[in-house]
Amino acid sequence: MSMILQERAGEVAEWFARRRAGPLTPEDEAAFQAWLDGAPENRAAFDEASARWAGLDGLRGDPRLMRLREEARSAVGWRRTRHLAGAIAASVVLVLGGAALWQGGAYLLKLAAPQPTTYVTRIGQTMSVSLPDGSLAILDTNSELRAWSPRKERRLELVHGRAFFKVAKDPTRPFVVQAGEHSVTALGTQFDVDLRPKSFKVVLAEGQVRVRSDRSAAGPATSVDMNAGYQLVAGEGGWNLSRTDTRSAEGWVSGRLVFDDAPLGAIAAELNRYSVQPIVVAPEVAGRRMSAVLPAADPGAFIASAEALGLARRAPGDRHGLVAP
C-alpha cells in the first residue's frame, strides 16, 4: 500500500463504503467530489483502493467478509444501510491491508467507524461546501475543515484558517464546530470562526451561539453565550467579548476585506494570507491607519489606496512594497 493511501485510509474506507452501500444523495455526491478535488492525493488514494478492491476477487470467500455480509443482510431499513456501510468499510480494511491490518483489531475499529470528510483550500482559494444537513460552510484562504455525517449532533472541526457558517435550523441536533481547544455550538445561525496559531475569534452575524474552552490546564471549561452583533477574541491574554460590525466577518465571503482604522502593517498581513507574493510595509509607515474595503485577491488596490491617501508610496522597483512618502 502506498504512503498516500496509508495516510488517507480512513477517509477512503468511509467514502468507498458509502458509495457501495447505495446511491449517494446529491449533497453527499457533491461532498465526495469536493473531497476528490480538494487534493490530488485524495483522488490517487481512492483510485488505488478501487483498483485493489477490483483485483482481489479471491477475498470475497474470506469467512470474515462472509460473516460481515450476513450481519448486514439480517438488518432492516435504516439500520440495514448503516450495517451494510460498516460491513463494506470493514471489507475495505481487509482489502487495503490484508492479514496485516486484520491483526490490529483496534485499527479496524478506527477505520470502520465514521470518518470525516476533509475540505482544504490553497492560498488565494475559497470554497463553498453544502453540508448534508442543509447548512453551508464557506472556507477562507489556506483553511482546512473536517465534517462528520450528522447524527445526534452535527459535528465539524476547523483545523486551521477561517470559515463562515450558515446553519440550517434543527433544534434536535446542535451544530458544533471544534476549533483548537474551543468549540462553538449553534442551533440555527450565521457565524464566522477564525483560528490562528495564537488566537481564536468568533463573530456572530445572526442568532445565538455558545462558545466553550476545552483547555484542561485552565481548570473548569470556560463558556460564554453570544448574541448577534458581538465578537469574541481568545488569546494568550484571555477572552474579550465586544460589539462589532459584522460586515468585516462577512465581507471576505464575497472576496472583499473590510478594515476600520487598521494599521497598514495589519492590513498587509491580512492580504498576505491570500497571496504567495507578500506585501512588504516599511516599519516607518506600518503603524499608519486606514479604513477601506479592499478586494482580497488584488494587493495592488491596497498599494494604490495607501498612495492616494498620502500614507505611503510604492517602493521603487517593488510593486508589492510600501515605504514613506
Domain count within the chain: 3
Between CA 294 and CA 291 the distance in angstroms is 10
Measure the CA angle with vertex 102, ends 97 and 103; round to 5°.
115
Residues in the chain where the model's pLDDT stays below 70: 1, 5, 17-18, 20-22, 52-114, 215-221
Instruction: State pLDDT tens for residues 306-319.
Output: 999 999 999 988 88
Q: What's the pTM?
A: 0.62
Between CA 105 and CA 102 the distance in angstroms is 6
**CB 306: neighbour CB atoms within 10 A?**
24
Same-domain pairing of 187 and 92: no
Same-domain pairing of 72 and 180: no
Per the structure, the complete domain to which residue 225 belongs is given by: 117-245
CA distances from 276 to 88, 192, 215, 253, 299 (A): 42, 24, 34, 20, 11
Instruction: State pLDDT tens for residues 253-278.
Output: 889 999 999 999 999 999 999 998 89
Q: What is the grid cell recorded at 38? A: 480538494
- CATH code for position 306: 3.55.50.30
Q: What is the grid cell recorded at 206? A: 445572526
The pLDDT of residue 92: 52
Residue 35 lies in a domain: yes
Same-domain pairing of 129 and 18: no
Same-domain pairing of 192 and 133: yes
- CATH code for position 201: 2.60.120.1440
Closest CA to 251 of 268, 266, 270: 270
Between CA 113 and CA 200 the distance in angstroms is 30
